[in-house]
Structure 1
Amino acid sequence: MSYATPSQTNITVGLQYRRVLEMVLSSAPITVACCVFLFINGIMLFTLRSKSVFRETSRYILLYNLLFADTVQMALSQLLYLLSACRIWLTYPVCGVLAMLADLTNEVSPLTLVLMSLERYVAVCYPLRHATIITIRNTDVAIVVVWAFSSLNVLIRVLLLLDFPFEELESLQMKDFCSDIAMFLGPMSDHYNKAFTCFLFVLAGVTVTCSYIGVVIAARSASTDKASAHKARNTLLLHLVQLGLSLSSTVHDPLLIAMSKFLDRVTHLRIHSIIYVCIILLPRCLSALIYGIRDQIIRPILMYYLCCRLKLPRLGSQPT
């Protein structure tokens, strides 16, 4: 029977304390930043439901859908990040549910950007038919199609997981942190994910780019409202940037796995935090900030809720 000496006990306690302190110092600032971003997104979502003009305008309905998907994605990503930082290993079923929900919302965002780009294209290139094409009913149907298409992809991924021999595992407890890549338990899942991701972003990229080109061509026409076309062109450029940021999030997990092979744990944790903030958190909050600042109708109402003012400047009544 062996006994630990007091010095060995002190060393063990010191190492454990150092790990806990390191975990807190690295994750606390990011968690605070995420909470701030979630608060801003939540206020923006509430703002888009505070007045009938937002609830009855197609582009604001699409913006609400984009922000909702980004907010859910941000919350799930932060949960997975904290689980990873705390070195908590989940079971495969629990990780699968979280990963599939994150994957679902991650696909809704680029598809919603496609719908928003098409809406701006119709508004500039077919202004007389915009009211008949972009209706509330058509917008709701398009959003349902986006969620159904994304859900179908998740269903296919779940079916591919059924081929994995889970019964051969000693237990369903994972031996690594939960992530989207951790649920690629077979070569078919990995191949399907790569093919679908390429298809999704090529489709979105081509659609947004073609919409931008169409708006630029229409802006040169004498019959087109120059101010409206210029604003739509800038909006489509913003959609392209957002699409690029969404695409960058797909390299998050592969990049971390590659770095873990040649970096020590402390350096890997620090780089993990930087990459996580830059390509996961910030893109999910940019939509709320950019649209909230750019839109002349949203801005005063958003500032009202953010600053807790008693009355709105230059508005006849308080938001309801």
Structure 2
Amino acid sequence: MTNISDILQNNTQAASANSRTFMQLTFIGITLAGFIIYFYIMAVLLSIYFTSSLARQEVRYVLFAHMLIADLVYLLFSLFSFLTSIYRTPFLASFCYVIVFVCSTSEKIAPYNLAIMSLERYIAICFPLRHEEFCTLQKTRLAITIIWTIGLLPNFSDTIILILLTDKLFFSRYVICSRASFFVTAVQNTIRIVAHATTFSMVGLIIIFTYIKIMLVAFRVDLRKSSAAKAGTTVMLHAIQLLLCMMAYSSNIIEILLRDYVAVLPIINFCFFMCFPRFISPIIYGIRDKLFRKRINRVLFCSCQKHKPK
């Protein structure tokens, strides 16, 4: 009897392991398919931007392209970190830390870029005569430089802590490429929480302020036809995307609710809390814009014509 029960138990464990593996592979396959579609859309949008002289001279398009590039960097490095973590593949710590450093920095860029885009729309609607004075390409490049500097500061402090608190051989070891591999003290987590709380509170206030000001202008004129109403919609979409970015910090709650599905939890967190907010950026901004929409239709029409049987 014991032999039979042991065999049944082993079979049950094997079936459970096979089921978990199948679920993991299914989710990973769907994720990779989503990445391929996303990269194609990004390639089309960025090619439109870099081949259009009008887009390269417009501040809002420059900020849009910057957001796309930052999201692309974030997703590429996150995908590498995710796959190596899932399959427990160790790499040299120094190499992994560069991956984590770039991933963490580019993650912090998105909210600040949304704030700058909201301010640009605010100036365009509320101070149209001074828009060209305030929103120049030179000032936009300066704003982008400041954004990256702010994004780098918490990671530089993290690097200093690692150098001070670890031995000289730490970066010569082999570790899993995840942020957890480089947590050596609670101070690092505190810095991360403070940095994110400050970022989202500041950006949230900026978006709320610009939305209220823009909609006040929209209500003074014909709401349906005014550019102010369109700008208000755009800023509202910025707010929605900011909320989606904040979803990443609710992953702990999801882990508690879905603790029975431990095998797929990392994949769910990666797909819905890290990738989804970035996936919708091209859809929200690219397809809504007339310039990009016309070029996208042209690209899709040309590709359909090439593959059309003669």
Q: Which residue of 2 aligns with 1:291?
A: 285
1:239 partner amino acid:
H
Within-5 A mapping of 1:116-155 = 116-155=117-156
User: Is the CA contact 2:77–2:99 (under 8 Å) kept in the aligned structure 1?
Assistant: yes
Distance 1:36 1:246, change over 3 A: same
Q: Answer with 110-119 or 272-281: which moved more.
A: 272-281
How far the C-alpha of 1:222 sits from its partner, in A, is: 5.1
CA contact (8 A) 2:218 2:228 kept: yes
Deviation beyond 6 Å, 4+ runs, structure 1: none
| Percent identity for Structure 1 against Structure 2 | 25
Task: Spell out the pairing of 1:225-240 with structure 2 (5 A cutoff).
Answer: 227-240=226-239
Q: In 1, Cα distance between the equivalents of 2:43 and 2:185?
A: 37
- Deviation per CA, 1:6-49, whole angstroms, max 9, x where unpaired? x9xxx9xx89x948766544422211211221221122112111
Would the alpha carbon gap of residues 123 and 47 (structure 1) be closer, same or farther in structure 2, given more than 3 Å must change?
same
Match of 2:270 in 1: 276
Q: Is the 8 A contact 2:105 2:152 kept in 1?
A: yes
Superposed CA offset, 1:219-264 (max 9, x none): 2335999511100110000000111111212444x458x559x946
**162 and 131 in structure 1: CA distance in 2 versus 1, 3 angstrom threshold:** same
TM-score, L = length of structure 1: 0.81
Q: Note if contact 2:24-2:264 (Cα within 8 Å) is conserved in structure 1.
A: no
Partner of 2:177: 178
CA deviation map 1:39-62 (0-9, x unaligned): 211221121112111100000000
Alignment correspondent of 2:241 = 242
1:162 aligns with 163
Aligned-partner Cα distance in 1 for 2:187–2:131: 43
Tell me by how many angstroms 1:216 deviates: 1.6
Q: What CA distance in whole angstroms lies between the structure 2 residues aligned with 1:309 and 1:269?
A: 40
Q: Distance in 1 between matches of 2:112 and 2:281?
A: 15
Give the AA of the match of 2:220: S
CA RMSD, 1 decimal: 3.1
Give the SS at the match of 1:294: coil
For 1:290, the aligned partner's letter is I
Q: Is the CA contact (8 Å cut-off) linking 1:215 and 1:232 kept in structure 2?
A: yes
Paired position in structure 1 for 2:101: 100
Q: Which has the higher helix share?
A: 2
User: Is residue 68–residue 282 contact of structure 2 (8 Å, CA) maintained in 1?
Assistant: yes
> Using a 3 Å threshold, how does the CA distance of structure 1 residues 270 and 42 change in structure 2: closer, same or farther?
same
| Deviation sequence 1:129-163 (CA, Å, 0-9, x none) | 11111111111111111112212332122112223
The question of whether the paired residues in 1 share the 8 Å contact of 2:105 and 2:151 is answered with: yes
Structure 1 residue runs of 5 or longer lacking an equivalent are 1-6, 312-320
In 1, the alpha carbon distance for the partners of 2:208 and 2:61 equals: 21
Letter in 2 for 1:96: Y
Tell me the distance in 2 between the aligned counterparts of 1:306 and 1:281: 25
